[in-house]
Amino acid sequence: MKRQADRHSLARRMSVWLTLQTFVGLALIATVVYATIAVHLASRQTQTLKQKQALVIHLLDEAMQSGELRELRHRLDDFLAGHDDLALTLRGTNGETIYRSAGLQPGAKRVGAIEFVAPPLAGSGGTVSAALSLDTRADDVLLQQLATALAASALLGVLAVSAGSYGLVRLGLKPVQHLVDQTQALSAEQLSKRLDGSAQPQELQPLVAQFNDLLERLEQAHGQLEGFNADVAHELNTPLTTLIASAELALRGPGDSRALRDLLGSQLEELHRMTAIVRDMLFLSQADHGARARREPVHSLAAIADGVIAYHEAALADAGLQVEVQGDIAGRFDAPLLKRAISNLLGNATRYAAPASTVRIEISDTGNGRARLAVINRGAPIPPDHLLRLFDRFHRVEAARPHGDAHHGLGLSIVAAIARMHDGETFARCDDGLTTVGLVLEGG
């Protein structure tokens, strides 16, 4: 495990890469320096040979005019005196040696030799061929020493950069370790804590911000989950307690058939209530796990709304309400889900609308391929803090609105789930006694 951790260590990988880059860079610099000096030395050797060639030709020209071969040899000896790195040979047309210098030192390496034809000497019987050689041992030794020095410098530079880069990388990663220490202190009981990014570099600030946003969402989700569990327990505990109490009373009573029938009817109502809660919870669970709307062509949302109104006709009549539908739009929607969403919105408006008022269903196109459906009723205003939580599960506005205990508080949560299944969103507002609750749907 430790070996695998070392292999995936960011500090180790960055240090290795910096070392390799340094090695390649120093190697390239050393190669360029070595090649530049080598070319310079070779050019200097060639230039030296050409200069000596010009001097030899000059001496031969003078000897040709004077005709003194002995004087030529004496001058050539004087010319080559002190130049142990040069060697000169003169041969006549028939190959006989006219002049040969003392020669290079033993072990000399003759490179860059120049052969040329000199002017004919008096008494030589024709042209003279000359060969001029240069001993390059001194330059070879210099290049060897230079190569050794460059290699040693590159090696020492790589070692120094490797050690320094490892230390700098570890120092640079200290803020990351500080974040790790902070995250280790987090737990499900401490989700309210946030990472302190004040001491972090600019490059890590987006990561800290994103992580804190994630903690915020986790805290909200954890709070909603705990509240959801408490609400579920409360909602199911009430009908279960009623069922148990009524059954115990029935068992203790005289067993009158009419009383038993009334008891069974009351228990059946509670069982229907529990079944509705469980069914709605299952639907919300499926929506939370990514269930999508089954889209099909819908030619008229207004027609769907009219069908829902007909279903609620009795409840609307009892509440003394009128309903009107304004606007229409076509698109690809899940018609059964839309009926359920409109039914929940209309049922919510029916319960809380002022008597003898009109409930309005507005259907419009937002202009970007999305449909907007809103149910508007006049009634008691909703406080702003409750308006923000209107689509939360089991949330009721008992303090502000009547009839809160008659329903289990999942209707608008289902509306929000249906909006998400259509890639949409919900909205709610309350202005001048008018409450507007609705959803925006993707119509494609």
Per DSSP, the residues of 95-144 read S-EEEE-S-PPTT--EEEEEEEEEPPPTTSSS-EEEEEEEE-HHHHHHHH
Q: Are 381 and 403 in contact (CB under 8 A)?
A: no
Q: What is the pLDDT of residue 384?
A: 82
pLDDT at residue 405, as a whole number: 46
Asked if 393 and 365 touch (Cβ cutoff 8 Å), the reply is no
Q: Residue 95: how many CB atoms within 10 A of its CB?
A: 7
Beta strands in 161-312 (DSSP E): 296-298
pLDDT of residue 289: 77
pLDDT of residue 404: 42
| Torsion angle, alpha carbons of 41, 46, 51, 55, to 10 | 130
How many CB atoms within 10 Å of residue 127? 13
Distance, in Å, from the CA atom of 423 to the CA atom of 370, rounded to the nearest integer, reads 10
Q: Is the dihedral of CA 48, 54, 58, 59 positive or negative?
A: positive
CA angle (390 as vertex; 278, 374 as ends), nearest 5: 100
The architecture CATH gives domain 296-442: 2-Layer Sandwich (3.30)
Specify whether domain 203-288 bears CATH 1.10.287.130. yes
- The distance from CA 72 to its chain's CA centroid, rounded to whole angstroms, is 85
Cβ 283 vs Cβ 414: under 8 Å = yes
**Model pLDDT, residue 253:** 64
Distance, CA of 357 to CA of 374 (rounded, Å): 17
H-run or E-run covering 439: strand 434-442
Query: Beta strands of 201-268 (E only): which ranges?
Result: none
Helix axes 69-80, 10-66, angle to 10 degrees: 160
Same fold, 203-288 and 296-442: no
- List the beta bridge partners of residue 435: 377, 430
- The DSSP letter of residue 383 is P
Residue linked to tokens 């507002």: 429
pLDDT score of 204: 76
Tokens at residue 280, please? 């709605």
Q: What are phi and psi of 427, to 5 degrees?
A: -150, 155
Q: Which two tokens stand for residue 284?
A: 């919300």
What type of residue sits at position 411? G
Phi, psi dihedrals of residue 187, rounded to the nearest 5°: -155, 175
Helix, strand and coil percent figures for the chain, each rounded to 5? 60, 15, 25
- Per-residue pLDDT tens, the chain, 444 aa: give them: 444 445 567 777 777 888 888 888 889 999 999 999 999 988 888 888 888 888 888 887 777 766 666 777 788 888 887 777 788 888 877 778 888 887 665 555 555 677 877 766 655 556 778 888 888 888 888 999 999 999 998 889 888 888 887 777 777 777 777 777 777 777 766 667 777 777 777 777 888 888 888 887 777 777 766 666 666 666 677 777 777 777 777 667 666 667 777 777 777 777 777 777 778 777 777 777 778 889 899 999 999 999 999 999 999 999 999 999 999 999 999 999 999 999 999 998 998 899 989 999 999 998 888 899 999 999 888 888 778 778 877 666 554 444 444 456 788 888 999 999 988 999 999 988 899 999 999 876
320-346 CB burial, b ≥16 within 10 A, e <16? ebebebebbbebebbbebbbbbbbbbb
The answer to whether 301 and 329 have CB atoms below 8 angstroms apart is yes
Q: Report which of 188, 176, 183, 253 is spatially closest to residue 218, judged by C-alpha positions.
A: 188
How many residues does the structure list for the chain? 444
What residue spans define the domains of the chain?
2-163, 203-288, 296-442
